[in-house]
Amino acid sequence: MSDFPKPISVLDRDMTIRTRGEGDPGMLIHEALARSRQTEAERAAAEYRRARRLTAGRSWSRLAAWAARRADRARTAVT
């Protein structure tokens, strides 16, 4: 036996990725790529949601400030 460490994953002839874990099944390389793309898409969607919430919060704050100014003007016009 050699003293070299085993690689983290090895690509078999049948295009299956095998990992060092105990008893975990191999995964086809296409499945691994699909999972990677799915994870990246979920991360991008979460980032987009955060940005939309931030911009929506700013929009509502501007609207609330405008409504408050309008209410003040209306109040002063009546009295």
Q: Where are the beta strands (DSSP E) in 1-79?
A: 9-11, 16-19, 27-28
Over residues 27-50, the mean pLDDT reads 91
Domain ranges of the chain: 10-78
pLDDT tens, position by position, 55-69: 999 999 999 999 999
The residue ranking higher by pLDDT, 11 or 70, is 70
Which pLDDT score is estimated for 30?
A: 85
Q: Which of 30, 1, 34 is nearest to 17 (CA)?
A: 30
Look at the pTM and tell me if it is higher than 0.75.
Answer: no
pLDDT tens, position by position, 7-36: 555 554 555 555 555 555 666 888 888 999
Phi first, then psi: give them for residue 18, nearest 5 degrees: -110, 135
